[in-house]
Structure 1
Amino acid sequence: MVSFAREEPAVLGREILGSEFSYVSRRQAVVSLEADDTVRLESVGANPTGIRAAGETKWRWLSKGQTAELSVGDEVALSRKVSAHSTLTLVAPSLLAIGSKQPAVEADVGTRAVAKAADASMAGAATSSQSVQWRWKSGSGWSDFSPSQSAAIEDAFVRGESAVAIDEERQVDLQQMRQLRFDDPSRFREVKRFPSKRSLTNTTGTADTNPDVPTLAEEPAAKRARTTVKGEGSAAPVMPSDAAPDAAPAAAPSAPTAAFTAASDSIDASTAVSISTAFTASTCKFTAASSANAASSTSASTSASTAAAAVQSLTPCDVPHSKKARWFPAHGEVLVRRADEEPRSKVAAFDMDGTLLQWKCKGYPSRLGDYELWSAEALETMRKLHGEGHKLVILSNQGGVRGAFTGKIATRFKGLVEWLEAQLQRPLHALAATIPKVSAYRKPATGMWSAMEEHTNGGVKVSIEDSLFVGDMAGRAGDASSSDRDFASNVGSERGAVLPFLTPEAAFGPAAGGAKAVALSAPVETSPAAALAARRALLGGYLSGPLMLLLCGGQGSGKSFACAELLACAPHDAWVVVCQDTIANGKPGKREKCEAKAREALAAGRCVLIDRMHLEPSQREPFVAVAAAAGVPVHALVLQTSPEEMARRVRERVDHPGGVQGEAGARFSARSKLAPPTYTEGFTLLSFAALPAEVSRICALYAQVRAAGQPHAAPASPPPASFPLNCGGSLPALCLGTMKLRGDALRAAASAPFGAIDTAPTYENEKAVGEHVAGRYLIVKVPHKAVDAAAVRQAVGSSLQSLRRKACDLLLLHWPANAMSNGSLAQACRRPCLSMWIWLREAALR
């Protein structure tokens, strides 16, 4: 764990100016250290990289109660304890430069300061393998591999590979740290990773030629050699030789960091930097305090570059696999990662896809870069839970693995988990159910929880009430299923307790998001006058072609059904369907080919139906542009089928042109999130349908649209704005129903030129609707519970009071209702109807 214990300035000596600790990995991913994380401060001798003290900057450490100060030119390196492949660096805003380059830092004091050292890191990486010598243990001691063999082993070790072949007869198992022969695996020799003789220097600069001195990462603490830091005048303190023998060893850095030099011209006495470093047998705890009058400003470009780096850090990338964790299969279908951690009584378990990570690609993810972290808050929450005593575990259904524990999909899953642990800097366990069909280990079954206790917690049962599970499949509108919520419920029921369940929004807050999240949260638009005119023409049957109609919806939403319904009703050759899944002679093709076919049909005066998902504005924009160039209106039919129904349809598909079918296709459909289209994208009319009957009705209306030059059966003039009633008066042709309308949506809808407004007390929005009913035809409903005159009188009076109207224009009676289950319809209706008639007569007399 990484904690910065705050201490008094008297202990610190001088204050740190807005500093935070972070590390830069070999791939330049910058990660901030958090409270309770521990690292080790080591001398790097003549190594030309590390953190360099310069100018007025003061670096200090403590050892056995004595303070030693590093002088200008002294070098130290901070190596991360959990890995031998990353290096920790301290960054102080406005105080550090990288060679001749200025680091990218944030303006606010105490926030993450990021420094990229690409040039120095690249130069160091090129020679990193030369500073390490791999050896194997022979009968007479340690023997060197050849330089080329050692370099090959080091490269594989840095990449996190499990094994590497060094010649035609031998390979090195980097997990067991031993050398094997292909012809006889039972014959093996121990291997170790040593500093090269060239990199081992003492205080006089002479080479340490002892070949049997292992790295600090491998030698017990009690046997570690004393190291010193070369400086001007005074030597820095050394690690005590009587360190506790059971102290956890810290990994020696194999990847150099860039050299950081303090810019002396930007430092004065009040902003000098010092570090008070308290050593224990195995850890170095850094304590820092931020000055209240620290640097007041930093350039805008610097802040922008830091923000860009922070966003980039949300995207997973390859990181070396932790040597302290082990991946292995269990029960024939579960892939397990066990981290180096003692059993705990509490567990914080998480789903992965849609919970810790989101998909940011348009299709099914195939690489690490297709994912992004839910948010930085997710990491903070997990660190906090671990600090409170929870074991951190991922429990994920990964049916695509299909038991191939070393296959492509399994390797990608492993890479994601390793990256997450690298960001957390906490032990992270993981279990994945790898069979796509229903099984005892696939959520919502409880087998994965039992396997977690068995394989990652030493068989120790955990307290269900004190644990928790976070998942995105909660059975909400938009969720493909309720498997995560059901899993938590099943685990609790099986153990006679309640396992708390949280959605990622409840646990971590809103997702960081991007363009898709912005589109999903777009405000409600006001329908323009052109849209209302187009709606009247469509309903009246006199809408003229040509036009373009875009279908919008995920896999299984009913796009193929809509195409079939429209073509079944439309006159011959009036409509052309363009589908990307079949554009290339019945096979999937490119979007550009769809655009060309649409242009050709529109130029011929025909209407065009585009059969694609069109989930985001960027996917719709090309076709909107095609319609605009042709001078024809473009409409959209948005299919809002429930996620459960979409998943069922995809699961039952066969011979789909795009191959999206079965269980894998259902998961793909579940991740296809629709950002509904808006009029600002250039659409003339938007229609929405959730049920097949609604789709059929809308498609029947579009089937009446004729190609250019074809006559319409309907009259060419629009219908009247209202219809006369036999009892006198008239009823507006367009009426706004206010059910489920709130806030901006209600205000936007009410601002459209509807002639009538329909409301009801059960909508629970009559007071808000009352702000928009002035001068409009008002329709009020009587609720089901009003079954006698007194109840009706009270309900209508309450509605009129909320709506701030003395009378309504039309009263709708929802009878029979409750009475239907009480007896015959005729008998049940007698009294309510009679009571209502009496009430209406009395009201008329008054």
Structure 2
Amino acid sequence: MSFYECFLECVNMTHKPVPLPHRVPTVIGRSPQTLIQEKKVSRQQVEITADCIKCTALIKQLGSNFCYVDETPLVKGQTVTVKQNKVIYLLKGEYPHRITFNIKNEVGSSSDAIGLVNANSESKKRSRGDDDDDKVRKRMRNDISDDDDDDDEVQAIEEKLKKMRESVQLESLKDVSKPELAHTEVKSVSGERVPNERGKPLDKAEWIEKDTLMVHHSKNLSSSAKIAAFDIDGTIICTQSGKVFPTHSGDWRILYPEIPRTLKNLHSDGFKIVFITNQMGIQRGKVKIPEYRQKIESIISKLGVPVHVLVSKGAGPYRKPGLGMWNYLLDYDNDGIKVDMKKSLYVGDAAGRLKDWEPGRKKDFSCSDRLFAINAQLTFYTPEEYFLKKHPAKYNLPEFDPRQLDPQMSLLCPSSAKLTLDRQEIIIMVGSPASGKSHFVRHNLVPKCYVHVNRDIHKTWQKCVELCKSSLDQGKSVVIDNTNPDVESRKRYLDVGKNKKIPCRCFVMTTTMAHAKHNERFREMTDKSHKPINDMILNSYKSKFIEPDVAEGFAEIVRVNFVPKFKNKVEKEAYCRYLIDK
């Protein structure tokens, strides 16, 4: 037999996993635990009873609004038994969660389900004594029903205890053999850090790495409901050399004399000081991680206050103005203390300020810090406003504002235009990469039996032309899903239609370049299989683009608006934030 830990994990990763103790009914619903605020979800929406021996869970519907197991609705009072990885929607199509069982708890981690091993560091440094074994035996046996309590079960428990003792001793030897670092402990984790006691200061510094995120907790750091967050470069420090970029890891100085005193006052007032920074140079190999860590520790030492540091090492979900680092802090790294957003703040120099915002000063290189604060709904200041008490300067926000998208707008312009015709035709799409062409084609034309011709699939324009011809010969309509930015690329298909006496319509995406860059960034964040499109490709399209004209031979030119469709509320909220910083 095997023993497991059971968790309810949010598919969209909007909150940390909820532990489901073995055979203990656990009520899930609208609560700070799930971060759900929608009132359609009852505070007591479902009851989940996990069986950590059989790796099953009993789901009981409590709320008046149905939850769904995959596509099957549950009425109030109905129960169903599910296995590992079944998806449970707390409302129809919304708030998807998955039941998972984890056997990692066998050595050195906590388990509410079966109480195997205490997860504090002391348990790794000593083997378990006989008294502890007796306690574990008792808890294990209590968790096994009378029907299951036979000789094989008891023997399995004894074997498990033996393996646990050997593994804990092995872990102790590993700890002894670790090389000592100068003054920090480095940890590499695949999940969240095990939290301290509520608000208790750390007794030593540590570094943690998770994907493209790097986290530092300085000694004496403690969590708080009040967060004072800052960018680093251009906000806390600047280069000592006077150059835009540091010439070496030691090329820095505190930006303003007022900064250390201000941070110390914040710390005394109960604020947790947090640095949140993008460091693309790490991903590009221009900045070495050991040198950057040393730099951060030196800055903190100079400031004289404990600091929590979050570093995005490159592109990905943690990069500002996205909220990856902020959400990690809220969900996993503030010891469960809810942040008071009204009292918290963010300070950064990438604020979109115009040229000469101060006499002789260049315009800000981006607006990422201001947009990050807007996304997080934090009060924002520039360093000059916060540390020097100067008046706010004028600034510009990016051209594209994702918050202004209208999901009710007409798909086609003019609205009287027909999506499809009742006769054979060729539709030639025109639009930049990431403008939404392929999404439009797959969801609106392919279901209407239009043959999908795409260069990404068929590799060359010659093969695309041949497929267009052969499909027309079979009596089918065709949609050309390529960028088709110029007259030459469009003429290839117009000539085919002319020779076969079949009309051609042109569908032009109205998505702006700034909007397309937003779409691309969203795909990078949400689709790990997506191959990124760089700005060079987008700018190349822009340079080649020639506005389509009916004189080219089109029967009609139709504009296609980008009308967003979202799977759930979480996806919508993620899309409707600023994702690009210019």
Pair member with larger Rg: 1
Settle same-fold status: TM greater than 0.5: no
TM-score under structure 2 length normalisation: 0.31
TM-score, reference length from structure 1: 0.21
